[in-house]
């Protein structure tokens, strides 16, 4: 009987090793790097994701799992990185090996941009996924006679063309309004393979959102739940952030660490002030003896640390 737990553990490990990534999981995992590479190069994000899905079997191929090669790119002349060998069109062919899957996505962009065979594709619009698919086939990216049709089917079956408009996998509307981004700290740090700089406001990590982005997209990028972003930012479910808005990716503090009070300017709300200083809205109301929803008047003093009598 004492061997049963070990057998169960071994079974669980074996099952986990054969776990397959679904197409939806693949899209959600890599859509942001595909959009980022589209911004850099003009290659449609839909094409990048579709090629990754097709070439890697949705990230389940041995090449993608062991070598992080999602696009089946072979070593070719001039490759100085790590190498692995697999049987493909011929026996024991050389394929590129990457440190991370993100490196594979970046190299896929560089590979297409640096190869004259694909030069004419960059004259196409980023929304012309059909033209890109046909162009990749014509240029000989893969030997399959229906390679373009396969890519187009993947794109249309999964509505990947939405990515070419910089929308997340869950299509959402975006509204443009004013923001508070100009008043945040200039202290920044860069997160590897992230499309955002992380800024510090009152010691709390935050990002400045760009046009077309949503809480759902940020949640995927920083590996947190979208409901947490709504809570961190004192927003109702379904709220759409606006370009240049500060979005906290951690819970705000209950008070300011450095400043005692804030003099209210024209049009400033309590939520505006809470976001400006990285303070949760409820403690801010409570400290200033105000009811939830009540708004300050221009010139009023809002205490950020204490109310002057404590």
pLDDT tens by residue, 196-240: 778 888 889 998 888 778 888 888 778 888 899 999 999 988 888
Packing angle of the helix pair 101-114, 45-56 (nearest 10 deg): 120
pTM of the model: 0.52
36 or 107, which is more confident?
A: 107
* pLDDT tens by residue, 237-267: 888 888 778 899 999 999 998 889 999 888 8
Radius of gyration (Cα) for the chain, nearest Å?
25
Q: Please report which confidence band the pLDDT of residue 89 belongs to, taking 50, 70 and 90 as the band edges.
A: low
> CA-CA distance, 143 to 130, in Å (whole number)?
18
The domain locations on the chain are: 4-74+100-165, 181-248, 261-303
The percent of residues in the chain predicted with pLDDT above 90, rounded, is: 44
Instruction: Determine whether domain 261-303 maps to CATH 1.20.1440.130.
Output: no
User: Are 303 and 261 a contacting pair, CB within 8 Å?
Assistant: yes
Tokens describing residue 219: 């949640």
| Statement: residue 44 has pLDDT above 60 | yes
Q: Other C-beta atoms within 10 Å of 228: how many?
A: 16
Domain made up of 4-74+100-165: CATH architecture: Orthogonal Bundle (1.10)
Residue 8 in 3-state DSSP? helix
The percent of residues in the chain predicted with pLDDT above 70, rounded, is: 83
Per-residue pLDDT, averaged over 79-90, amounts to 83
Q: Please report which confidence band the pLDDT of residue 181 belongs to, taking 50, 70 and 90 as the band edges.
A: very low
Fold matches, 181-248 and 261-303? yes
Q: Which of 2-16, 124-138, 179-193 has the lowest mean pLDDT?
A: 179-193
Q: Which of 16-20, 35-39, 212-216, 228-232 has the lowest mean pLDDT?
A: 16-20
Packing angle of the helix pair 23-41, 215-222 (nearest 10 deg): 100
Q: Please report which confidence band the pLDDT of residue 167 belongs to, taking 50, 70 and 90 as the band edges.
A: low
Instruction: Determine whether domain 181-248 maps to CATH 3.10.350.10.
Output: yes
> CA-CA distance, 183 to 196, in Å (whole number)?
18
* pLDDT tens by residue, 121-148: 999 988 899 999 999 999 999 888 999 9
Per-residue pLDDT, averaged over 94-106, amounts to 91
Across the chain, the runs of DSSP E, i.e. the strands, are 82-86, 93-97, 188-190, 197-201, 204-208, 246-248, 261-263, 301-303
């Amino acid at each position: 009987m004492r061997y049963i737990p070990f057998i169960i553990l071994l079974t669980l490990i074996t099952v986990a090793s054969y776990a397959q990534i679904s197409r939806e999981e693949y899209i959600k995992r890599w859509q942001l790097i595909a959009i980022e590479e589209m911004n850099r190069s003009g290659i449609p994000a839909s094409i990048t994701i579709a090629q990754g899905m097709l070439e890697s079997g949705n990230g389940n191929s041995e090449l993608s799992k062991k070598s992080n090669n999602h696009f089946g790119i072979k070593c070719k002349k001039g490759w100085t990185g790590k190498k692995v060998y697999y049987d493909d069109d011929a026996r024991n062919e050389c394929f590129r090996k990457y440190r991370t899957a993100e490196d594979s996505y970046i190299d896929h962009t560089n590979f297409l941009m640096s190869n004259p065979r694909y030069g004419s594709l960059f004259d196409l619009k980023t929304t012309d996924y059909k033209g890109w698919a046909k162009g990749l086939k014509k240029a000989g990216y893969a030997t399959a006679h229906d390679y373009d049709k396969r890519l187009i089917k993947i794109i249309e079956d999964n509505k990947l063309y939405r990515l070419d408009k910089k929308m997340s996998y869950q299509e959402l509307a975006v509204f443009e309004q004013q923001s508070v981004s100009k008043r945040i700290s200039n202290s920044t740090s860069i997160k590897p393979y992230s499309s955002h700089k992380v800024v510090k406001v009152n010691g709390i990590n935050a990002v400045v959102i760009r046009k077309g982005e949503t809480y759902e997209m940020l949640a995927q990028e920083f590996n947190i739940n979208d409901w947490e972003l709504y809570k961190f930012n004192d927003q109702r479910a379904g709220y759409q952030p606006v370009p240049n808005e500060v979005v906290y990716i951690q819970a705000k503090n209950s008070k300011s660490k450095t400043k005692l009070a804030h003099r209210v300017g024209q049009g400033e709300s309590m939520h505006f002030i809470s976001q400006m200083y990285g303070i949760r809205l409820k403690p801010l109301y409570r400290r200033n003896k105000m009811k939830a929803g009540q708004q300050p008047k221009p010139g009023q003093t809002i205490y950020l640390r204490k109310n002057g009598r404590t």
